[in-house]
Structure 1
Amino acid sequence: MKWKNHISQVAAKANRSLGFIKRNLRGCTEDIKNMAYKSLVRPSMEYCAAVWDPYTADQIYQLEAVQRRAARFVKNIYDRRSSVTDMMTDLEWPLLSTRRKISRLSQFQKAYEGHLAIPVQTLLHPVTRSTRNNHSKAFIPPQPSKDTYKFSFLPRAVSEWNSLPESTIAITDPTAFKA
């Protein structure tokens, strides 16, 4: 319940910031509106998102709805028949859930490579037997019994890490990995 309330607060703050931008940048160009959204609204929805990442459909929808409203504002297209997905594609805005996944995997990769003080090798057990479904740096996923841990950073990151191809896992530079 605590996290659900937190997600609502994050979405409410982002909506307030978007409202401020809408009121003050109404007549500006698409580029300025885009920059304002990326500078003022999106960071508030992504701050520490690798840790508090929402996992229920309604929580994800709450955050994605803010971005969809922002896309309509930036493109200045409010027709109900127009596709917001096409607007977001044109603006080159990936879904926030995709950005959170990339952030989570980047954090895990940094921890794996020793760039963060998270002792991944001591917290997790490597897969001892190689199968065609995993790579050489795969870990046994934790088996949590509670949803609060099941959808937390470490279990989600491990399952996503294990699904990456060997060529991606072989990248040791954090910037190159994120790209």
Structure 2
Amino acid sequence: MALHEDKFEYMAHSCNRNNLLEHLPFCSDIYQYSTNKGSLTPVNQLRDLGVTVCSDLNWTTHVKAIADKARQKAAWVFSVFHTRSSTTMLMLYKSLVRSLLEYCCPVWNPKKISDIQELEGVQRTFTSRIAGCQELDYWERLQKLSLMSLQRRRERYIVLHMWKLLHGDVSNDIRIEFVERPRTGIKAKIPPLKGTSAVGNQSLYDNSFAVMGPRLWNCLPARINTIETFGLFKERLTSFLTSIPDKPPVKGYSTQNSNSILDWRKDAATTDLWGGQDC
């Protein structure tokens, strides 16, 4: 394919970061893509459909970019609108600020605590300026305003996408397989990590949608994962998630766990929510 150098960018992903070839003189030739008029040199990061992708598949750059953009939008809201009523502020926040923080989030859902705190910090600051919430801590504000943490909402979006994969509403390009079991309902198969894969790829494997999606889906009880109507599934899923404690990691507070559904599923105090079923 003939590529226009000014319209394309080239990124190379390395499976083994300790590869000794990178230190050899001819390594640059290996990582270049030749075109009719020259060559494309690999870049460390690029923006693809609004998502900043890095060569090491780290989402910190993207998280900081969207957090800064959301803070600018929040500052504009507070400068233009003088009311601080919860009804008006929540409507503006959900439509103008939170939408920036959740665009395409099933793809880049972060696992680093610092990235999660960066995103939660935007919602934490915004809700602290809503009338009647100034004296409450962040976790109390979430309950008072009937808000989920951004972390919980990202996992919710992943589960919703899994439902669409199951029912053929979206293309199953990553070939996730589902099996139906009499007691636990419909479960998703978790693809195994190849034995020849480097140890450093374990975190990339665990955080990928192909693994995280099935793991989150498998935490749903049979009464929910067998629902065939999307509207009803979405309603029951939201009700189920709001029954699980939601205490995201924030700076200055110690948390019981990472607040992921996976961690709360392992917590003995919340096992009754799943009816004794295993993930």
TM-score, length-scaled by structure 1: 0.85
Separation in structure 2 between the aligned mates of residue 103 and residue 66 of structure 1, nearest angstrom: 19
Q: What is the match of residue 107 of structure 2?
A: 51
1:88 aligns with 2:88: no
* Identity score, percent: 26
Q: What is the match of residue 14 of structure 1?
A: 70
Per-residue CA deviations over 1:23-80 (Å, capped at 9, x if unaligned) read 112335332111111110000001111111111111111111100111112236545x
2:192 to 128, 132, 143: 143
Q: What is the match of residue 158 of structure 2?
A: 104
Match of 2:88, SS state, is helix
8 Å contact from structure 2 (residues 84, 130) kept in 1: no
Instruction: Show the 5 A alignment for 1:71-86.
Output: 71-75=127-131, 77-79=133-135, 82-86=136-140
Separation in structure 1 between the aligned mates of residue 234 and residue 179 of structure 2, nearest angstrom: 24
Separation in structure 2 between the aligned mates of residue 124 and residue 41 of structure 1, nearest angstrom: 32
- Structure with bigger RCO (C-alpha 8 Å, 6+ apart): 1
Aligned residue pairs total 172
Gap change, CA 1:18 and 1:76, over 3 Å in 2? farther
Separation in structure 2 between the aligned mates of residue 35 and residue 74 of structure 1, nearest angstrom: 12
Q: Max radius of gyration: which structure?
A: 2
Relative to its length, the structure with more helix (as a share) is 1
Relative to its length, the structure with more strand (as a share) is 2
Q: What is the match of residue 29 of structure 1?
A: 85
Greater CA drift, 106-115 or 69-78: 69-78
